[in-house]
Amino acid sequence: MTNPVPEYPLVEVRHVSKHFGEGETRVDALRDVSLEVHPGHVVALLGPSGSGKTTLLNVIGCILEPSTGWLSLDGEVVYDGRWLRSDLRKLRLEKVGFIFQFHNLLPFLNSTDNVAVVLSLAGFDTAESKRRAVELLDYLEVGHRKDAMPAKLSGGEAQRVAIARALANRPRIILADEPTAALDSQRAGIVMDLLRKVATEQQAAILAVTHDEKIFDRFDHIFHLRDGRLDGNEGSGA
């Protein structure tokens, strides 16, 4: 079932800066960055190595605290000069799903249990966790591999299981760090089609860090970071 579309951006960043160190050793990783990502949109974040892409993703994911700025996730202001929620782990479980370049599946759990473990952490009972996990694996067209261990999955199958894990707790915001870098063109296209399906049907906001030129046409907008500054954005043909 498609979620109702909120009128506000699901990700809203205003004047966020992040520096590491002080004095001569200070590094300004982000400089006065502002951006929005709306429901149903799949957005790319591009830039050379060291431009601040992963830092920005970690700030939005409430893993890294900004030095200054303001951050709202799914209509809730979560940072305004300080964190406004005391339990950031719970906040991430509620609002954010993470997809990484390498699937990072737990090697001792099968596909179903790799997805269900997120729901267990969120407080669901075992039966409900597994039911939801199988439902997601079916949704991402990898349900036939629900009992397979990670070592027996292809690269594309493992990435779909990782996407299912990211969606397990129905987050409205998906953050993806190089989600197709380890895949060939065909599998990369399948992953992007799945992310588009999630964005459209669940009205999620998806922000992906990527260098993968073969998927640039799959994005609604492309943001460019250079030396910690956002250069603006451009539409895409997705």
pLDDT tens for residues 164-213?
Answer: 888 888 889 999 988 877 777 877 787 788 888 889 988 999 999 988 77
Token duo for residue 178 = 């190089």
| 4 found inside a domain | no
| 6 found inside a domain | no
- Residues 19-41 have a mean pLDDT of 91
| 213 found inside a domain | yes
**Structure-model confidence comparison of residues 50 and 145, the more confident one:** 145
**Which string of DSSP letters, residue by residue, matches 44-88?**
EEE--TTSSHHHHHHHHTTSS--SEEEEEETTEEEEESSBS-S-H
| 111 found inside a domain | yes
State the pLDDT confidence band at 237, using cuts at 50, 70 and 90. very low
- Residues 151-172 have a mean pLDDT of 87
Q: Mean pLDDT lowest for which of 4-8, 105-109, 119-123?
A: 4-8
| 193 found inside a domain | yes
| 5 found inside a domain | no
| 134 found inside a domain | yes
pLDDT on residue 238: 39
Q: What percentage of the chain reaches a pLDDT higher than 70?
A: 94
Which residues constitute the domain of residue 16?
11-235
The whole-angstrom separation of Cα 113 and Cα 149 is: 10
The whole-angstrom separation of Cα 46 and Cα 39 is: 20
pTM value is 0.84
Residues 49-103 have pLDDT tens digits of: 888 898 999 999 999 999 999 999 999 999 999 999 988 988 888 889 888 877 7
Strand order in the sheet with 76-80: 27-37, 11-20, 68-73, 76-80
Domain count, the chain: 1
What is the CATH classification number for the domain harbouring 149?
Answer: 3.40.50.300
